[in-house]
A and B are shown apart, each in its own frame.
Chain A
Amino acid sequence: MPVSNYLDAINAAMFEEMKRDDNVFVLGEDVGVKGGVFGATKGLYPAFGEERVIDTPLSESAIAGVAIGAAMYGMKPIAEMQYSDFMLPAVNQIISEAAKIRYRSNNDWNCPLVIRAPIGGGIHGGLYHSQCPESIFFGTPGLKIVAPSTPYDAKGLLKAAIRDEDPVLFFEHKKCYRMISGEVPEEDYIVPIGVADVKREGTDITVITYGLTVHFALKAADDLAKEGISAHILDLRSLQPLDTDAILAAARKTGKVLVLHEDNKTGGIGAEVAAIIAEQMLYELDAPIMRLASEDVPAMPISPPLEKQFMLNPEKVKDAMRKLALY
């Protein structure tokens, strides 16, 4: 099977879907001639032309709002937010509009929109090129939210998002773009939204995570295997809807759960995952649910020692996993 990096998988998903369906188009800042600041839309402009690969003004609310209007007509827009840190001007359009269009019109109108936004730190981006905004949108009914960790999932989930009849926020971790490679089939496939994936089978502890931290957990699990600790790793892949069955099954597998993510700890996805487990199987647990997430400071600083201190890494994850295993 061909090997691709995470960024190329995202690019391929868009290319193939644009070829498959004339209604699919891309809009965003620098997505056209330049092919995106990270290169995610490279090659689309020469292949599909400026009417379907639209360089927009610096105008995030319009990028979302115009995409919503086109989606209501029946188009399938993919709107790129250059960094998720910059998508806050579009929050009104996303939460008041896209998320509520089907519900408020009693199913008369719908909004098949994808908003792609790079999340996360570790690239020396400072406060405003490093944030994880999942918790801003999480808990907004009407939105779907995905955050893949591997090239296979990124391509399959992006295709599923484009084909979905409702708005999907596609959070791609920018640190994964070139760092993570993996097998990606040439033939068409999708990864269904709302389905988590066991990335590693294990028997002693369960780690529930998504995005970049999946890789930290996998690395830590390899190291811990040498210490005789067997870790079971569930990649949520979809944040909304959460795959409740998979969360409970993974928790049951070991009875010891670490919930791990790069977004802030307070009010993060992990809080909801922990609550689901506590509500439904508290007495089956062998240890209190543990959470490891970013500190509750406004965002990541740029100075290397500060960034390093803020960011999670395989060592920090390993320490938490070992602590849980020894509980």
Chain B
Amino acid sequence: MAANELVSQDALHRQLGLSDERLLDMYFMMVLARKYDERALLLQRAGKINFHVSGIGQEAAQVAAAFALQKNKDYFLPYYRDYGFVLAVGMTMRELMLSLFAKAGDPNSGGRQMPGHFGDKKNNIVTGSSPVTTQVPHAVGLALAAKIKKQSFVSFVTFGEGSSNQGDFHEGCNFAGVHKLPVIFMCENNQYAISVPIAKQIGEARIADRALGYGFPGHRIDGNDVFEVYRTVKEARERALRGEGPTLIEAMVYRLSPHSTSDDDLAYRTKEEVQHHWKLDGINRLREYLLQHSLLNDELEAEGLKKIQLVIDEATDFAEKAPYPRPEDAFTHVYGDEQEGSTNAGQ
């Protein structure tokens, strides 16, 4: 939907139940994630950190989805590009930076896992790993717990389109379909599995259509359209809470950055292709909308950007100065009942 069409309507965001303030929050959350990502790349290039995996181009879908869910109630199983998502459900910039620098205070893993491997119980963010798609059956298990314990929450899981070819995607969706569980599967289809384009990943090009085979609805949506993402996730959540079962959402996005700081994407795609997708960026689209609706102006934007800059500067500095884990901490928390200081855990 082009921004100029929206001017004539009663503001779409209000129709969807999003206040002006909340929409602006959503926008700045996306910008915060973008700026974090840019800073992480700089830090890696400066040799301050070892590795960063980017989410640039996917923030709009991530943040819009998070805003349609219930913080501290729903359970979240994000994948490794979901900086916008985790920020929107409660992780702080300091916490992200602690993870990036692999410092002891990192709530995701205490500096054990690569950045982007989220997990934070206080925010209902379920711990994840690097083998892709293993989180899909976990989300189904959390939804099963909701059903057994008669709790009113949904589990929300994301993954890339590359992941949708793993057995765990099929096994998880099928299980959820059988038991009509309150789970939302959101594929962030960024059109590349590292270097392999969608045409070499999937014979039938629509991931959303797979939902048919599991007996629940699948929607392909424009992931750069925050309103469409917000509406679709919100409806999926309501449907799940009514006991009507899962929904598969395929949010079409584009990975604007290389796969990671170890990847040169121009080895497998053209500059022109990437530039084309920069023009479709969901953050800019929302910005246009906000400007058209006079919800954003130069002054507000400058103020917001300045605040973001300060938050990121402060967090970078904080994390850089924060202590590393103690070397001996490499051997703790293998089991819950281990003895203090035991290195051969359990023995």
Q: Which residues of A contact B (CB under 8 A)?
A: 25, 51-52, 54, 56-57, 59, 61-62, 64-75, 77, 89, 92-93, 96-97, 100-110, 141-142, 144, 164-166, 194, 240-242, 244
Query: Once the chains are docked, how many angstroms separate the CA of A166 from the CA of B179?
Result: 26
Which of B121, B129, B347 is the one whose CB lies under 8 Å from A244? B347
Nearest chain B residue, comparing its CB with the CB of A66: B141
Q: Is B147 an interface residue (CB 8 A)?
A: yes
Contact with A along B180-209 (1 / 0, CB 8 A): 000000000000000000000000000000
Tell whether, in the assembled complex, residue B140 and residue A66 are in contact, meaning their CB atoms are under 8 Å apart: yes
- 18 example contacts (A-B, Cβ-Cβ < 8 A) are as follows A61-B168, A65-B172, A67-B141, A69-B144, A72-B138, A75-B145, A97-B134, A100-B129, A102-B335, A104-B117, A105-B127, A106-B106, A106-B111, A141-B345, A141-B346, A142-B335, A144-B346, A194-B346
Tell whether, in the assembled complex, residue B119 and residue A104 are in contact, meaning their CB atoms are under 8 Å apart: yes
Nearest chain A residue, comparing its CB with the CB of B77: A69
A102 → B minimal CB distance (Å):
5
Tell whether, in the assembled complex, residue B148 and residue A51 are in contact, meaning their CB atoms are under 8 Å apart: yes
Tell whether, in the assembled complex, residue A89 and residue B167 are in contact, meaning their CB atoms are under 8 Å apart: yes
Nearest chain A residue, comparing its CB with the CB of B181: A66
Query: Once the chains are docked, how many angstroms separate the CA of A110 from the CA of B117?
Result: 16
Q: Is B131 an interface residue (CB 8 A)?
A: yes
Contact with A along B126-170 (1 / 0, CB 8 A): 110101001011111111111111000001000000000001100
Q: Is B109 an interface residue (CB 8 A)?
A: yes
A212 → B minimal CB distance (Å):
25
Nearest chain B residue, comparing its CB with the CB of A96: B131
What residues of chain A lie closer than 8 Å to B167, measured between beta carbons?
61, 89
Nearest chain A residue, comparing its CB with the CB of B151: A73
Tell whether, in the assembled complex, residue B145 and residue A74 are in contact, meaning their CB atoms are under 8 Å apart: yes
What residues of chain B lie closer than 8 Å to A92, measured between beta carbons?
131, 134, 168
Which of B121, B137, B346 is the one whose CB lies under 8 Å from A108? B121
Given the interface pairs A51-B148, A109-B119, the reply to whether A66 lies near B137 with Cβ below 8 Å is: yes
Query: Once the chains are docked, how many angstroms separate the CA of A234 from the CA of B40?
Result: 56
Q: Is B230 an interface residue (CB 8 A)?
A: no
What residues of chain B lie closer than 8 Å to A97, measured between beta carbons?
129, 134, 138
Q: Is B336 an interface residue (CB 8 A)?
A: yes
Given the interface pairs A65-B172, A73-B141, A105-B127, the reply to whether A51 lies near B335 with Cβ below 8 Å is: no
Among B143, B146, B171, B332, find the residue whose CB has the most chain A CB atoms closer than 10 A.
B171
Q: Is B75 an interface residue (CB 8 A)?
A: yes
Tell whether, in the assembled complex, residue A65 and residue B137 are in contact, meaning their CB atoms are under 8 Å apart: yes
Tell whether, in the assembled complex, residue B112 and residue A57 are in contact, meaning their CB atoms are under 8 Å apart: no
What residues of chain A lie closer than 8 Å to B149, measured between beta carbons?
75
Given the interface pairs A97-B134, A102-B334, the reply to whether A108 lies near B119 with Cβ below 8 Å is: yes
What residues of chain B lie closer than 8 Å to A73, measured between beta carbons?
75, 141-142, 145-146
Tell whether, in the assembled complex, residue B112 and residue A69 are in contact, meaning their CB atoms are under 8 Å apart: no
Q: Is B108 an interface residue (CB 8 A)?
A: yes
What residues of chain A lie closer than 8 Å to B146, measured between beta carbons?
73
Nearest chain A residue, comparing its CB with the CB of B104: A106
Nearest chain B residue, comparing its CB with the CB of A238: B346
Which of A62, A102, A110 is the one whose CB lies under 8 Å from B174? A62
Q: Is B299 an interface residue (CB 8 A)?
A: no
Query: Once the chains are docked, how many angstroms separate the CA of A232 from the CA of B347?
Result: 23
Given the interface pairs A102-B333, A108-B120, A141-B345, the reply to whether A69 lies near B137 with Cβ below 8 Å is: yes
Given the interface pairs A65-B171, A241-B347, the reply to whether A109 lies near B127 with Cβ below 8 Å is: yes
What residues of chain B lie closer than 8 Å to A89, measured between beta carbons?
167
Tell whether, in the assembled complex, residue A69 and residue B138 are in contact, meaning their CB atoms are under 8 Å apart: yes
Tell whether, in the assembled complex, residue B336 and residue A166 are in contact, meaning their CB atoms are under 8 Å apart: yes
Query: Once the chains are docked, how many angstroms separate the CA of A54 from the CA of B31?
Result: 45
Given the interface pairs A108-B119, A165-B336, the reply to whether A62 lies near B140 with Cβ below 8 Å is: yes
B182 → A minimal CB distance (Å):
12
B152 → A minimal CB distance (Å):
14
Q: Is B324 an interface residue (CB 8 A)?
A: no
Nearest chain A residue, comparing its CB with the CB of B110: A106
Among A72, A110, A142, A242, find the residue whose CB has the most chain B CB atoms closer than 10 A.
A72
Among A56, A61, A68, A101, find the residue whose CB has the most chain B CB atoms closer than 10 A.
A61
Among B106, B120, B167, find the residue whose CB has the most chain A CB atoms closer than 10 A.
B167
Nearest chain B residue, comparing its CB with the CB of A242: B347
Query: Once the chains are docked, how many angstroms separate the CA of A171 from the CA of B119?
Result: 31
With A104-B129, A241-B347, A242-B347 given, name 15 new contacts (CB 8 A).
A51-B147, A57-B174, A61-B171, A65-B140, A66-B141, A66-B172, A69-B141, A70-B145, A72-B126, A73-B141, A73-B142, A97-B134, A102-B333, A108-B127, A141-B345
Nearest chain A residue, comparing its CB with the CB of B174: A57
A277 → B minimal CB distance (Å):
14
A75 → B minimal CB distance (Å):
5
Tell whether, in the assembled complex, residue B172 and residue A62 are in contact, meaning their CB atoms are under 8 Å apart: yes
Query: Once the chains are docked, how many angstroms separate the CA of A92 from the CA of B163?
Result: 14
B102 → A minimal CB distance (Å):
12
